[in-house]
Copies of this chain bind each other. A is one copy, B any other.
Amino acid sequence: MGRIFKERTPVNEALRLFLENISTLRKTEEVPLESCPGRVLAETIISERDVPHYRRAAMDGYAVRAVNTLGASPANPVLLQLSDQIEEGGAIWVHTGAAMPEGADAVIMVEDTATAGNLVEIRAQVYPNRNVGQIGEDIKKGDRVFEEGHLLRPCDAAVLASLGFDRVKVFKKPVVAVIPTGDELVSRKKCVDVPPPGKMIETNGLMSALYVKKWGGIPRCTEIVPDNPDSIKRAVEANLDADMILLSGGTSVGKRDHAPEVLAALGKLLLHGIGASPGKPTALGIINSVPVVCLPGYPVAGLVALYFFVRPGIRKLAAIPEVPEPILKRRLAAKISSKIGYVNFIRVAFEGDKVRPLTGAGAGILSSVAKADGYVLVPEDIEGYDEGEEVDVFLIE
């Protein structure tokens, strides 16, 4: 009681410390190509095949020996026999993608020909290999097609299929235990009506679990744990087989805030208190190499901690490669005031081609997030932005 935050670690420093303590899981599994998009390759793919594995026609037309078309033009067409004796001056019909007949080294586009009975009139000359796809022109046997760590997309699944794969080895998704804590919470599954005064429906655990899933983890949601150190300790211990643990609530400095002390008792408390607003009461730690994030119970503060620490934490655990974050440049429809010393997470809504900051709503007001399309981060050393200033907007996924 009466404790205050002794420290307030800057967000970047907190993240660096957290990630430094997280090791990438290297557990792998095989998945069918149908479910590989979004997964991370756990093997380097070296082709054991040539693709295509045969010389193919790249156009609809006639397969010929190029030498037999020398000098052909619309005014002076060359006549070839429809025959599979290509070497002796024959021409044979091929579709795009068809195997080139033995002896043929070029394809005359159908547009440059005419047929008359058993003869083909050739109206253009071609050079050898014209309109022919060579063996291995797409992928050669021995080519490194994908490196380990590649994030697979639908088009990559098609490439793997062309190489003869039906399944592929990927990194397992990390299991993230989500433990909601708080005497005031009731499960919505057990609560059809409005709960009694002093009781709230649990929502942060649901939100956390759904973000975990979106960001590439497998959420494992526990029952609501009451605000006492022993219960929290037991719940954490029961989940130390997970790859990450999220404790929601009980992270501040009040009588009922036990999450950080439990974390310190069971493992190492890396820090408690970050330079973010909302989000200050966040605590981070490690228990037997399992990263633990104590998320503030105020929902907007919890969301900030999810974005700042849980998302990069999952990425590191799961070896998900960085992709450039989509950032929208927008002008502000109203000024933003910000607290010096804190990264301010400002919810904003699109308004025409501008964004309007949703101010006035505290960290406890979840509906302000529902109204927000994105957020703007104001750095620690800036007092805010003026109306009309251009800012970087991150979308709220």
Tell whether, in the assembled complex, residue A51 and residue B367 are in contact, meaning their CB atoms are under 8 Å apart: yes
Of B1, B34, B155, B299, which contacts A370 at CB under 8 A?
B155
Partner-binding segment picked from A8-16, A161-169, A237-245, A312-320: A161-169
Name the one of B154, B162, B366 contacting A158, with C-beta atoms under 8 angstroms. Answer: B366
25 contacts between A and B (CB under 8 A): A1-B60, A1-B110, A2-B111, A49-B194, A51-B367, A54-B197, A97-B184, A97-B200, A154-B210, A154-B214, A154-B397, A155-B369, A155-B370, A157-B207, A158-B204, A159-B369, A161-B201, A161-B202, A161-B203, A161-B206, A162-B201, A164-B192, A164-B194, A323-B395, A326-B328
**CA–CA, A1 and B200, complex, Å:** 72
Least Cβ distance of A279 to chain B in Å?
Answer: 14
Q: Which residues does chain B contribute within 8 Å of A153, judged by CB atoms?
A: 396-397
Interface presence of A384 (CB below 8 A): no
Flag A132-176 by CB within 8 Å of B: 1 or 0 each. Answer: 010001110001011000000111111101101010000000000
Q: Which of A1-58 contact B (CB under 8 A)?
A: 1-2, 4, 33-34, 37, 49, 51-54, 56, 58
**A96 with B211, Cβ < 8 A, contacts A2-B111, A203-B162, A324-B328 known:** no
A254 close to chain B: CB less than 8 A? yes
Task: Let me know if A138 and B200 touch, CB within 8 A.
Answer: no
Q: Mark A334-357, 1 if CB is under 8 A from B, else 0.
A: 000000000000000000000000
Give the nearest-CB partner of A303 in chain B: B155
Interfacial residues of chain A within 164-198, with CB under 8 A of chain B in the complex? 164, 166, 182-184, 188-189, 191-195, 197-198
- Does A388 sit within 8 A of B, measured CB to CB? no
Partner of A207, one of B155, B166, B191, B198: B155
Query: Which residues of chain B are within 8 angstroms of A114 by Cβ–Cβ distance?
Result: 2
> How many angstroms from the CA of A213 to the CA of B33 in the assembled complex?
13
The CA-CA distance from A145 to B367 in the complex, in Å, is 8
Which of B158, B299, B362 interacts with A203 by CB under 8 Å? B158
- Who on chain B is nearest to A36 by CB? B210
Contact (Cβ within 8 A) B52 A158: no
A220 interface contact, C-beta 8 A: no
CB atoms of A60 and B188 under 8 A apart: no
B367 and A138: CB pair below 8 A? yes
Q: Pick the residue among B95, B194, B299 that contacts A255 (CB under 8 A).
A: B95
Q: Given the complex, which residues of B lie within 8 Å of A98, measured CB to CB?
A: 184, 198
Given A110-B1, A138-B365, A197-B54, the answer on whether A154 and B99 have CB atoms closer than 8 Å is no
**Do residues B158 and A299 form an inter-chain contact, with CB atoms below 8 A?**
yes
Interface membership of A128, Cβ < 8 A: no
Cβ contacts A80-115/B at 8 Å (1 or 0 each): 000000000000010111110000000000110110
Enumerate chain B residues within 8 angstroms of A200, measured Cβ to Cβ: 52, 97, 162
> Does chain B have a CB within 8 A of A252?
yes
A322 to chain B, nearest CB (A): 11
Shortest Cβ distance from residue A345 to the other chain B in the assembled complex, whole angstroms = 13
Let me know if B366 and A137 touch, CB within 8 A.
Answer: no
Q: Which of B113, B137, B201 contacts A365 (CB 8 A)?
A: B137
In the docked arrangement, what's the CA distance between A384 and B195, Å?
64
A140, closest chain B residue (CB): B367
Q: Does A71 contact B (CB under 8 A)?
A: no
A137 and B362 CA atoms in complex are apart in Å by 10
Task: List the B residue with the shortest CB-CB distance to A182.
Answer: B97
Cα A51 to Cα B361 with chains together (Å)? 14
In the complex, whether A256 has a CB less than 8 A from a CB of chain B is yes
